[in-house]
Amino acid sequence: MKRRKFLQNASLTGIGVAVGASVLAKNTAKDISSEIVSEATNSPTTFPIVIATWDVPNATNKAGQVLDEGKSALDAIEQGCMAEEADASNQSVGLGGLPDRDGNVTLDACIMNKDGNYGSVVYIQNIVHAISIARKVMEETPHVILAGKGAEKFAVSQGFKRVNLLTEASKKRWEKWKVTSEYKPIINIENHDTIGMLAIDKNGDISGGCTTSGLAFKMAGRVGDSPIIGSGLFIDNKIGGATATGLGEEVLKTVGSFLIVELMRQGRTPQEACEEAILRIVTSNPNFKNFQVGYIALNKKGETGYYSIHERFSTSIYKDGKNENFKSDFYNKT
């Protein structure tokens, strides 16, 4: 029986629930973190490596260059995400992001380093580089999350300039949407959505980041999975990392990125872990045909995984000096 089919059956018969419970039962599960670490030490040629959601060659190239210069995975993540945030032609991240129903562009972002530290901004407006503010929250404040006006005020205090994020192109899309005001999550929004990125540097240390303008035409005040630790992003430097794109509500309900890292801790490959996390969503929500979620994962050995509910998700990988995009396998083949 194919592995995916087995997992599906297991989940439907309740075995999946038992597996889910065991994910968190650290004492009863085999913890392979020490094996992964020692194997990784034996294969340094795989580093550095960057993996990101969607077809974002500029972002992974930038992050890869930073790593090739010998800088940290954290620096690479910030610089890579910044490349997308500054690009007004994509309408799901940073400048030019699609607004909420009231016409306000609001950004969510988070970053997590090799030491398990994490910083995040939610519902921040008027600042292009949300990922950099998230890093400042992690490094310069006693907190991990800043929201809305407070996050914006903090950004300005750190020297960031206020910018109107609503471009003419995004304003036009919003005005067109207002004609019917029908809200429905858009699957594979222009084949590009939240940018999640994971990297391993030359020292073998892992960091990750995630940046987005969230769902187009969301309710004012809505916050998605991307800035929430364990949902949109999770890193454990002994094991690996995972990050998400797509309908944040579904990722939040299954704490997807944490789940993937815990599955890898128990011995699953990044690919198996991503598939299991998608299975959790589709087996618990019969409406899955109407929304997309995609995951990417990276383990300490530099192995990658990626999987989504629907087709047309892809991942960009920078490795061995090559910067390539790969189509993801997906669940819904009907």
User: Rounded to an integer, what distance in angstroms lies between the CA atom of residue 149 and that of residue 257?
Assistant: 28
Stretch that binds ligand GLY, among 2-10, 11-19, 148-156, 243-251 (CB under 6 A): 243-251
Q: Return the number of the residue (103 or 267) whose C-beta is nearest ligand GLY.
A: 103
Backbone angles phi, psi at 51, to 5 degrees: -135, 135
Q: Return the number of the residue (23 or 107) whose C-beta is nearest ligand GLY.
A: 107
Q: Which residue of the set 53, 60, 106, 194 is catalytic?
A: 194
Stretch that binds ligand GLY, among 40-48, 207-215, 234-242, 261-269 (CB under 6 A): 207-215
Distances (CA, A) of 131 to 52, 177, 310: 14, 28, 27
User: Rounded to an integer, what distance in angstroms lies between the CA atom of residue 90 and that of residue 109?
Assistant: 16
- Per CB under 6 A, contacts with ligand GLY among 163-202 are 194
Q: Does 246 bind ligand GLY (CB under 6 A)?
A: yes
**194 a catalytic residue:** yes
User: x/- contact string, 62-91, with ligand GLY (CB under 6 A)?
Assistant: ------------------------------
The DSSP H or E segment spanning 21 is helix 15-23
Q: Return the number of the residue (96 or 224) whose C-beta is nearest ligand GLY.
A: 224
Backbone angles phi, psi at 160, to 5 degrees: -80, 145
Q: Return the number of the residue (197 or 200) whose C-beta is nearest ligand GLY.
A: 197
Contact residues for 279 (Cβ-Cβ < 8 A; gap 6+): 4, 7, 8, 11, 16, 331
Binding site for ligand GLY (CB under 6 A): 194, 212, 214-215, 224-226, 245-248
